[in-house]
Chains A and B, each alone.
Chain A
Amino acid sequence: MVFSSLTFIYYFLPILLILYFIFPTKLKSCILISMSFIFYFYGEGKYILILLFCSIFNYLLAKKVHNKKSILIIGIIINLLPLIYFKYTNFLLDNINLIFNTKIYFKNLIMPIGISFFTFQNISYLVDVYKNKKEQANNLFEYLLYITFFAQLVAGPIVRFTDIKNDIQTRKLNFANLYLGIKRFIIGLAKKVLIANNIGVLINSLNSITDKTVLLYILLAIAYTIQIYFDFSGYSDMAIGLGKMFNFNFMENFNYPLSAKSITDFWRRWHISLSSWFKDYIYIPLGGNRTTKLKWFRNILIVWALTGLWHGASWNFIIWGLYFGIILIIEKIFLKKFLDKSKIISRLYTTILVLISFIIFSITDMNELVVFLKSMFGLNHLPFANFETLYYLKSYLILIIISFVFAYPTFKYIEKNKIFKIMEPILYLFILIISTAYLVDSTFNPFLYFRF
């Protein structure tokens, strides 16, 4: 099930709220766990046992892991096995076939939704308990709620148990949290349904044009960036909002990344929960920056290759990760100092590099990627524009402008406006109704990040 569906908003959520209201406080966590399994089963019925097994296994293993490195290593390996099996088997075989000219094939595996997210949460729990026994869950129900809570189960944010331990133990429902949660949920819904999905339609239209132009490729690059940002940050907003409604305070996952002044800054603002996970569980254990320069750069490249690989079992994702790794190293060596001197140049620099990054992210075929990049920079002898490209530019210009307004911290200022504050509730409810209208008239649009 996806948050941005009529089934979720108008069936699952009311049923959950009814049950949550009627049952006594003691049973509220059980209601959340049961409904979370129903939520997962509805979207990925056949893999529900994997989720259950991984959660219980990890909970039991964590009881023995404190200060025992061998158990920790075994635990991490066992946690990674389903992820490697479902996500990377075919990628590994494809590369083996390519290198050794073999023809080993495996069945086409469908990856369990959210496996990358719940695997990382399981590992973080194991490592945290290994370091500090106090970080342990009091009972299996607490742990199940941590891993399976529907709001963050399938696409994050990647939450640490220590960060929400108190929230898990406190089951209450109040107007203040509901107000903030619902507002945040509607913002996320609008980002996904009104912006990301519509930009997705633009991408399909542009890709179907036979007579390509430079402008078409530029427009596509912008569209990919908007789609990925609004799709994923929209999901995170909905997750944070839903969490808030049930008294969970999830960490922020995005902080206007497109307004960043460098790539270093960008990654402090983009998918924050993933970056901090890699920092705490890979980068620092490798030695971080407290080592020789060479090892420091090696650590950066390892972390970024893995970040890329986490996003998908394909070379373009690894290149995407390394692309950022290399830029981050360059910025650390000398570039950051220059960028700090001019806001305009630094923003322009970051925007261009981010646009290029999302082209690498979106195109899995390497040849196609080269053609795209060359064409975008006018190196493929294409005309700059034609009627069809201009048609789509005109048709989507307002939506693109709106997207950029909301991708930058402009909204923070709008929110402070007195008139806005008075109109706020009506505005949000109107956005909910418009989003519903789009959902009624649309086909299924899964989140891009579901494949990770």
Chain B
Amino acid sequence: MKEKIFVISFMIIIFGAFFINIFAPKKEISIYERRKLAKMPEITIEGLINKVDTTRIDKYIADHFLLRDKLRSLKTNVEFLLNKSDVNNLFYYDNYYFKYEEKYSERQIEAFGEKINYIYNKYFKNMNVYYSVIPEKNYYLNNTKYKKFAYNNLFESLDNINEDITYIDITDTINLDSYYYTDHHLRQDKLIPTVKKMASVMNFEFTDNYKVDIYEPFYGAYYGQLPIKNHGEKLYTLNNDVISNANVYNIENPYDKIYNYEKFGTIDSYDIFLSGATAYEEIYNNTTASNKELIIFRDSYTSSFAPLMLNGYKKITLLDLRYSNLDYLMKMVDIKNQDILFLYSTSLINGSDVLRVY
């Protein structure tokens, strides 16, 4: 009897999965994993012989497998039950999701400084130029159980940056609470002390008068990579007259407002800020009499920073060297007497090969 029940149960599982996998409607994207799911390939004899199609079929089957999200969650829980400190370089501590940085790269960190110097010497000599470093979430993790990235070495290695470029140390204005639980980015509502410090060094007009808007559920970048919780968190945006009346010129996206609410609930909800990072963007403050302008060399973290700096500027230009070459982008910039800010995260500095400077 035991044998029969076991065999029948096994058959129910494999046949059940077989039929449900075939007939269940297929999703195009996975919100949890923040990616497009594989499509069934057009099968050809040549593709089968070269194993190209079979690899794609395997990927398609895994992507659309019955209860995929629940199974991935089960796997992660089993891993932690086995006392694994991290799962695929991600771990969960005190309600926060963390991801280990890539291996420390002295070469890329030094190259970062050299790239900043090159840009400064070529375009911005004798102007007001600043740089600041946004630490990854792990910088504020205080637990000896986990591997620590050599952040102090990274900061020390940046001493090759030209002394005429003023460093703004913002590490003391941020703490673990400043980050999203499931994402690597900073919460905009926690950035006020940071922007205040920048304003005092860069001498621009600062305000802390904002209304906080909340959107949920927000699933951060790590949420789908480490599926252990079944609920999202809140995403915060700050608003005031300056921000709501501002206009954005985005080279890749016609949307002209600072917050693009249509992006919420898509693959990357963080794209609500400035419609996501693009190679070239301009933000115009339509409520100020000031003529001050700012150019920010940025990565994705800047998207939530820039709106809070707009109070002090007529125009902010955002340049992302990950997506376009320096000289090409600079053709669009009319160099006057702008303030210049290099605002990069530690992870980008450690992987600065992506910056297309030369």
Task: Judge: A and B partners, yes or no.
Answer: yes
Q: Which residues of A does B touch, CB under 8 Å?
A: 1, 5-7, 9-11, 13-15, 17, 41-46, 175-176, 178-179, 182-183, 208, 210, 387-388, 391, 394-399, 402, 424-425, 428-429, 432-434, 436-441, 444
CB distance from A260 to the nearest CB of B (A): 27
Chain B interface size, as a band, is 35 or more
B6 touches A433 (CB 8 A): no
Is B24 close to A, CB under 8 A? no
List residues of chain A with CB within 8 A of the CB of B18. 10-11, 14-15
B77-88 vs A: 1/0 string, CB under 8 Å?
010001111100
Q: Which 4 A-B pairs have the closest CB atoms?
A: A179-B3, A425-B6, A45-B49, A437-B71
List the B side residues contacting A178 at CB < 8 Å.
3, 7
Q: B15's closest neighbor in chain A, by CB?
A: A14
Task: Contact check, B7 vs A10: say whether CB atoms are below 8 A apart.
Answer: no
Q: Shortest beta-carbon distance, A134 to chain B, in Å?
A: 36
Determine whether the beta carbon of A10 is less than 8 Å from that of B61. Answer: yes
11 residue pairs of the A-B complex, CB under 8 angstroms, read A6-B62, A10-B17, A10-B18, A13-B14, A14-B15, A43-B51, A424-B6, A432-B10, A436-B71, A437-B75, A440-B75
CB distance from B244 to the nearest CB of A (A): 42
Interface pick from B52-60, B111-119, B325-333 = B52-60
CB of B65 within 8 A of CB of A395, answer no
Chain B interface, DSSP helix/strand/loop, else mixed: helix
CA distance A17 to B19 in the complex (A): 14
Q: Which residues of A contact B82 (CB under 8 A)?
A: 398-399, 402
Q: Is the CB of B55 within 8 A of A434?
A: no
Given A41-B48, A43-B54, A436-B71: A395 and B7 within 8 A (CB)?
Answer: no
Q: Are B62 and A440 in contact, CB atoms less than 8 angstroms apart? A: yes
Binding site for A on B (CB under 8 A): 2-7, 9-11, 13-15, 17-18, 21, 48-51, 54-55, 57-58, 61-62, 65, 68, 71-72, 74-76, 78, 82-86, 103, 147
Residues in B neighbouring A441, C-beta threshold 8 A: 71-72, 75-76
Q: B83, A444: Cβ atoms under 8 Å?
A: no
Kindly list chain B residues whose C-beta atoms are within 8 Å of the C-beta of A424.
2, 6
Q: Which residue of B lies closest to A9 (CB)?
A: B14
User: Cβ of A444 and Cβ of B55 under 8 Å apart?
Assistant: yes
List 19 extra interface pairs beyond A391-B147, A395-B86, A398-B82, CB under 8 A: A6-B65, A7-B58, A9-B14, A14-B14, A17-B11, A46-B49, A182-B6, A182-B7, A183-B6, A208-B103, A402-B82, A425-B5, A433-B13, A434-B75, A436-B71, A437-B72, A438-B75, A440-B71, A441-B75
Q: Which residues of A contact B86 (CB under 8 A)?
A: 395
With a cutoff of 8 Å between Cβ atoms, the chain B residues found around residue A45 in the complex are: 48-51, 54
A398 / chain B contacts, CB cutoff of 8 Å: 82-83
Q: Choose one: A10, A175, A428, A438; the contact of B14 (CB below 8 Å).
A: A10
Contacts of A13 in B (CB 8 A): 14
- Cross-interface CB contact of B6 among A5, A428, A434, A438, cutoff 8 Å: A428
